Structures are given as structure tokens and as C-alpha cells.
């Protein structure tokens, strides 16, 4: 991953007395200005600290553009190949750690400057018919498509761990909760997998965002389209886009794909936050369902006994960060007039932050989950016979009683147990008999947690058979991989 560089203002340039020469530095514009921009504007306007990481994609699309210009008869074969070779060298320099200079406004300017250094004036022909508006939209889309593939891999790694842990939990029982009150017994594997499926939906949303990004804007120029007969289909195939934008005005301002990826990652962050919350709670001494390991917890500088689940807490906190990124982007685009507006430059700040954060959080959550120890005896110990009250009502239903009457009868028993401060299964049979005539001696079987779980075999339930097929379905969903293959790069240069 390429780090974001914060470029210090060029103090010599900043101190220079006005008027500043119009073309003192390498700029992609400036002819119509008598003086250069004020340092205050430069500092605000410069995006190289954020967008430098787009360079591999900008180089790729620039090479494709050089081929397209040759194909359109704008460049000779020699010029086009010189540009391609030059861009390869620029990529080598950037890959080798070449850093921007203060006057590099953005990644496009930086690459243009380096290309000039490499091949001289012919570099100036590359910008024919294109604009940074269609360029940045294209580079950001390429970046986003790659990010989707990386995210998918990281999410699947977490899902795989969940699946392994679910299998390992076997027949372990635990309480399920509603309103954070003990509700009904479930297989612990069923609880584990309840966190698997939200991630499955996240992967579908990430795939959707990748498809949204896979529409090529290049060839839209600044806003009105390209005046040269370039083949956009050739560009599309060469850059691996699935489709072509149909309207140049829309193409340079469309950031829906950023919003979609931010929503997908925000939902993902939300799901990780909820998993983290469950685990943090279950790791407390009060619950004690899980015990955290050494590699993903930290100690306290004061309290020697502490073991804190920091990775999970940061995962939970990250949900707020990503929500902020999503809201910032939606706020940015909602009031924009048509066409490109500089506000859009900030789309990348939100996008990169969200993806970077998830790529840090996902492996840490995966590691925490892989390392923690489950404590089946504590899970089992948290089961109480009152959690089988529904099963007790079902017992009466099976004897022909209406569910409403059964519910009332069991309610009476629950109240009695509460008054006597005992468990339902320690009430004498006489209590059951007086609560409803249809209660017989076998009623105590209905108060077994194992039986309660075994009865729930309808698809998606916690019955052992249903969970086995759930596990099979989960495994199958991990095997599915969406097709993220890119098109074939068309090159005039033999590699």
C-alpha cells in the first residue's frame, strides 16, 4: 500500500515576493493567468497527499489513452509507444518511492511532470482530448474495483473463522437474548453463524459497488465529450470496465459508486461493531462465555489484572468513523450543480479512509475471534428452565389447547416460580396440574433445554439438523466468488 504523503509547503516559493511567475512550476493549466495561485490556495487545493496512491491506476489509464490517441490518428505510433514506455518508467520511479514535490497539485500533475522528465515534449501530447475530470473519475473507479476485491477477501477470511468456530462449538448450548434478557436456548454455533450471514450480505453489497464502479467515464473530456475519434470500447476492454458511461456530463460528476461502496463498508462496519459488542459483553466476568487470548488484547498501565479487548472496541468505534465518511460524501454530492465541481476532490478522502479502516479492522477482528476460547460450561450455566416457557406452552398446544390459553397458564406458573424464587422445573407437579388440566407428569421433559433446541428443526432454526444444513450453506457461500476479472490490457509496447 502506498502511504499518503503530506507534502510540506515549499517555503522558498511561499516567501517569494509577488508577482509570482505564471508557469514557474509544472502545472496542467496557467496560460490565462498573469500570476500563479496564492500559497493559501495551493495549500487548500493540493490533493497529492490524498490521491498519490491512485498513481498505478492513472498510469494504466494513461497508457490506454495513448493507445486510443494513436488509434484515433492523433498520435503517431512512435509518439504513442514513446509515451507508453515513458509511463512504464514513471511507474518504476513511483514504485521505487519517488516522492512528489511541493508544486505537484495532484497525482495527475505529478505523473505528467515525471513523464516530461522522461520523454520531453512529446509528453505534452498525452493530454489531448482528455481532462483530469474524466481521468480522476476513471482512476478512482479502478481503485474502487480493486478495493472491492481486497475487501471481499478480508471479509471471507473472517467468515471462514466464524464457520470454523461454529463447527467447533458442536452441541454446545447457550441462551439467546431478546432485549438482552434471556430468551430461549440455542446452539452456540447458531449464535456464531448469526454473525456470518450479515457479512454474506455485505459481500453482495461490495460486489454491487464494484459493478457500479465498472462503468468507464474516460473519453468524456472535461464535460462535453471527446472531440477526437477515440474508441471508447477499446478503452473499456483494455481497462477492464464492464460498461461505458452514456452521458459525458453525468460521467464526470457521477460518484454514486463511491456512495455505494461507502454504504457497503458502513454496513460492514456496523456488523463488525455488533459482533464486537457481543464478544465484549460475553467476555465480561459477568457473562464469561468467552475468554480472550493474549495477541489481540492489551493490559492496563495501572490495574495489573486487566485484559482489555481493544481490537473489538476499536472495531466498534470504527463504525462511527465509516458512518461519518458516508454522510460526508452524501453531503458533498447532494447539492452539486451538474458537471464536475472541485468539491468532488474530497470523495477520495472519505473513500480511502473507509476502505483503509476496514482493511485494518477485519484482520484484527478475525484474529481476536480465532484466538478466543469459548467456555461451554458458562454458556450452559446461563440456561434456566424459565427459558423453556414457550416449550411449555407448545406442550399444551400439542394437547389441543389454544396458544393464548397455554400462554396464560404458563404465565401463571412463571409468576409462581418468581414468587417462590425458584426455577420452573423445581415447582411441584401440583402447581402444573392446577395451572392447566392438560399438564401431565411428562411435563418436566418439556423443560429440557436440549429438547427445546432439538424441536426447532424448521429451516433457519437452531435444531441440530437445521444448523448442519446452515453450515453447509455457509460453506457453499464461501466457495462462491464473483467474477472480478479485468479486461485484457491492449498495448502497443511489447512488455
Query: If binding is defined by CB under 6 A, does position 126 make contact with ligand ARG?
Result: no
Residue found under cell 461507502: 262
Q: Please, how many CA atoms are within 13 Å of residue 319, restricted to the half-sphere of its CB?
A: 17
Write the binding mask 314 to 353 for ligand ARG: x where contact by CB under 6 A, - elsewhere.
Answer: --------------------------x---xx--------
- Which residues touch 435 (CB under 8 Å, ≥6 apart)? 409, 410, 412, 413, 416
Distances (CA, A) of 447 to 184, 232, 257: 11, 69, 53
Query: If binding is defined by CB under 6 A, does position 236 make contact with ligand ARG?
Result: no
- Select which of 124, 295, 300, 402 is catalytic: 300
By C-beta, is 41 or 437 nearer to ligand ARG? 41
Find the radius of gyration of the CA atoms of the chain. 31
Write the binding mask 31 to 50 for ligand ARG: x where contact by CB under 6 A, - elsewhere.
Answer: ----------------x---
DSSP one-letter string for 101-150? -TT--SHHHHHHHHHHHHHGGGGGGGGTT--HHHHHHHHHHHHHHHHHHH
Work out how close the CB of 136 gets to ligand ARG at its nearest, in angstroms, rounded to a whole number: 4
Work out how close the CB of 335 gets to ligand ARG at its nearest, in angstroms, rounded to a whole number: 17
By C-beta, is 203 or 348 nearer to ligand ARG? 348
Q: How far apart are CA 34 and CA 30, in angstroms?
A: 8
Work out how close the CB of 344 gets to ligand ARG at its nearest, in angstroms, rounded to a whole number: 5
Residue whose C-alpha is closest to residue 248's, from 215, 228, 223: 223
By C-beta, is 282 or 340 nearer to ligand ARG? 340
Distances (CA, A) of 417 to 183, 428, 437: 17, 10, 19
Record the cell numbers describing residue 181, joined without a space.
434478557
Query: If binding is defined by CB under 6 A, does position 51 make contact with ligand ARG?
Result: yes
Instruction: Give yes or no for a contact between 159 and 199, defined as CB atoms under 8 angstroms apart.
Output: yes
Using CB under 6 A, which of 113, 132, 165, 438 touches ligand ARG? Answer: 132
Write the binding mask 71 to 110 for ligand ARG: x where contact by CB under 6 A, - elsewhere.
Answer: -----------------------------------x----
β-pair partners for 14: none
By C-beta, is 189 or 253 nearer to ligand ARG? 253
Give how many residues touch ligand ARG by CB under 6 A: 9
Reply yes or no on whether 127 is catalytic.
Answer: no
Reply yes or no on whether 300 is catalytic.
Answer: yes
In this chain, which stretch among 132-140, 152-160, 212-220, 295-303 interacts with ligand ARG, using CB under 6 A?
132-140
Q: How far apart are CA 197 and CA 401, in angstroms?
A: 37
Q: How far apart are CA 478 and CA 481, in angstroms?
A: 7
Write the binding mask 378 to 397 for ligand ARG: x where contact by CB under 6 A, - elsewhere.
Answer: --------------------
Write the binding mask 190 to 229 for ligand ARG: x where contact by CB under 6 A, - elsewhere.
Answer: ----------------------------------------
Record the cell numbers describing residue 428, joined without a space.
411441584
Instruction: Give yes or no for a contact between 221 and 133, defined as CB atoms under 8 angstroms apart.
Output: yes
Using CB under 6 A, which of 133, 159, 210, 368 touches ligand ARG? Answer: 133
Residue whose C-alpha is closest to residue 279's, from 265, 295, 297: 297
DSSP one-letter string for 408-435? HHHHHHHHHHHHTT--GGGS-HHHHHHH
Work out how close the CB of 282 gets to ligand ARG at its nearest, in angstroms, rounded to a whole number: 44
Q: Which helix (H) or strand (E) holds 210?
A: helix 196-213
Record the cell numbers describing residue 342, joined without a space.
472541485
Work out how close the CB of 225 gets to ligand ARG at its nearest, in angstroms, rounded to a whole number: 16
DSSP 220: -
Binding site for ligand ARG (CB under 6 A): 47, 51, 106, 132-133, 136, 340, 344-345
Q: Where in the sequence numbering do the catalytic residues fall?
A: 179, 300
Amino acid at each position: 500500500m502506498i502511504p499518503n504523503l503530506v507534502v510540506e509547503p515549499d517555503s522558498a516559493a511561499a516567501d517569494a515576493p509577488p508577482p509570482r511567475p505564471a508557469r514557474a512550476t509544472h502545472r496542467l493549466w496557467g496560460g490565462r493567468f498573469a500570476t500563479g495561485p496564492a500559497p493559501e490556495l495551493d495549500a487548500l487545493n493540493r490533493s497529492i497527499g490524498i490521491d498519490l496512491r491512485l498513481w498505478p491506476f492513472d498510469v494504466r489509464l494513461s497508457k490506454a489513452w495513448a493507445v486510443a490517441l494513436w488509434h484515433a490518428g492523433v498520435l503517431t505510433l512512435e509518439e504513442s509507444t514513446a509515451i507508453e514506455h515513458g509511463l512504464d518508467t514513471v511507474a518504476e520511479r513511483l514504485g521505487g518511492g519517488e516522492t512528489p514535490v511541493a508544486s505537484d497539485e495532484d497525482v495527475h500533475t505529478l505523473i505528467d511532470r515525471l513523464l516530461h522528465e522522461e520523454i520531453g515534449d512529446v509528453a505534452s501530447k498525452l493530454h489531448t482530448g482528455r481532462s483530469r475530470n474524466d481521468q480522476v473519475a476513471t482512476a478512482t473507479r479502478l481503485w474502487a474495483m480493486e478495493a472491492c476485491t481486497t475487501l471481499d477477501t478480508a471479509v471471507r477470511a473472517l467468515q471462514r473463522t466464524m464457520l470454523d468456530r461454529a463447527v467447533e462449538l458442536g452441541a454446545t448450548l447457550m441462551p439467546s437474548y431478546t432485549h438482552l434478557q434471556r430468551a430461549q436456548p440455542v446452539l452456540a454455533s447458531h449464535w456464531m453463524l448469526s454473525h456470518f450471514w450479515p457479512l454474506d450480505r455485505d459481500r453482495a453489497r461490495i460486489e454491487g459497488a464494484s459493478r457500479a464502479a465498472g462503468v468507464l467515464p474516460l473519453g468524456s473530456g472535461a464535460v462535453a465529450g471527446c472531440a477526437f475519434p477515440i474508441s471508447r470500447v477499446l478503452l473499456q476492454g483494455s481497462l477492464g470496465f464492464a460498461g461505458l458511461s452514456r452521458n459525458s456530463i453525468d460521467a464526470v460528476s457521477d460518484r454514486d459508486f463511491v456512495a455505494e461502496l461507502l454504504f457497503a463498508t458502513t454496513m460492514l462496519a456496523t456488523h463488525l461493531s455488533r459482533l464486537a459488542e457481543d464478544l465484549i459483553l460475553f467476555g465480561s466476568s459477568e457473562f464469561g462465555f468467552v475468554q480472550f487470548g493474549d495477541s489481540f488484547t492489551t493490559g492496563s498501565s495501572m490495574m495489573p489484572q486487566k485484559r482489555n479487548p481493544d481490537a473489538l472496541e476499536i472495531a466498534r468505534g470504527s463504525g462511527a468513523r465509516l458512518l461519518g465518511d458516508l454522510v460526508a460524501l452524501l453531503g458533498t454530492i447532494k447539492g452539486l450543480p451538474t458537471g464536475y465541481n472541485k468539491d468532488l476532490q474530497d470523495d477520495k478522502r472519505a473513500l480511502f479512509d473507509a476502505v483503509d479502516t476496514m482493511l485494518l479492522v477485519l484482520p484484527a477482528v478475525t484474529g481476536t475471534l480465532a484466538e478466543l476460547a469459548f467456555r461451554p460450561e458458562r454458556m450452559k450455566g446461563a440456561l434456566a428452565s424459565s427459558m423453556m416457557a414457550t416449550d411449555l406452552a407448545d406442550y399444551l398446544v400439542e394437547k389441543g389447547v389454544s396458544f393464548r390459553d397455554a400462554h396464560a397458564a404458563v404465565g401463571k406458573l412463571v409468576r409462581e416460580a418468581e414468587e417462590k424464587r425458584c426455577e420452573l422445573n423445581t415447582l411441584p407437579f401440583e402447581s402444573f396440574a392446577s395451572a392447566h388440566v392438560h399438564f401431565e407428569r411428562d411435563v418436566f421433559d418439556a423443560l429440557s433445554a436440549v429438547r427445546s433446541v432439538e424441536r426447532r428443526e424448521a429451516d433457519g432454526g437452531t435444531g441440530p439438523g437445521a444448523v448442519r444444513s446452515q453450515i453447509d450453506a455457509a460453506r457453499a457461500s464461501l466457495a462462491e466468488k464473483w467474477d472480478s476479472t479485468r479486461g485484457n490490457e491492449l498495448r502497443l509496447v511489447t512488455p
